[in-house]
Chains A and B, each alone.
Chain A
């Protein structure tokens, strides 16, 4: 079998995989495994769960790739499979039911939306301790988000999908994506500020 060009398109790799190329399969995995793994980790919070999500996503993807018609991008399709895997995993674990985040919960007693201390992401590469601490704060805050808000937050904020793509991946309306993202962001701001100030007080 002829070898694959140095930078083939996803469409080309899919065609090669359908023709039996393992090299094409490995190239597709190599292209998206970090992203799918990150998504699984941000959704579940555990390395083992993230590994399960990545395996389930790629196994299902290659199992059903023959049905992939290319109406959407391969990346978006993979995330659709990954999001479903995260939802199934959560159901299996019989987690607490999701709760709604209301906008009113961000209005404080004095009628304002509160004062927040949000640190800057250090651009100084030598400041590894600060970076590690900020990363820890963000990861804890993401895990505190209710599941359906976390799905939207991770797809929009971490993976960079736009509103329409996120709506398609999760099979919800664009208005739901906007509403959930806004509330998730306000929630994250509260959590980041709270944890940052607690850390500084210690």
Chain B
């Protein structure tokens, strides 16, 4: 991996999260225009981030909802009145 590619490889996440200064973003974008390998690296990372975000939703089960409320009512009975 070339030195310039390695530098970008270390900061892609901050780049994708918009956490870098404008001048560093421009530097990275300039490099990406000329480097297909790094472009592919950024694209695949972006895709895997999006996939993780979308595929990870969960919902508590109705039974667990009930258990949780029962445990809380047991623990704080005096506040029921």
Interface residues of A (CB under 8 A from B): 17, 20-22, 25-26, 29, 33-34, 37-38, 41-42, 47, 50-51, 54-55, 58-59, 62-63, 103, 106-107, 111-113, 115-116, 118-121, 131, 134-135, 137-139, 141-142, 153, 157-158, 163, 178, 181-182, 185-186, 188-189, 192-193
Contacts and interface: CB of A to CB of B under 8 A. Distances in A.
B51 A121 contact: yes
B73 A120 contact: no
Interface residues of B, number: 42
Interface in B35-81: 37, 40-41, 44-45, 47-61, 64-65, 67-69, 71-73, 75-76, 79-81
A182 B45 CA distance: 10
B13 A22 contact: no
Chain A, interface SS category: helix
A26 B69 contact: yes
A107 B1 contact: yes
A144 to B, nearest CB: 13
B71 A113 contact: no
Given A138-B55, A193-B44, 4 more contacts: A42-B58, A138-B51, A158-B56, A192-B51
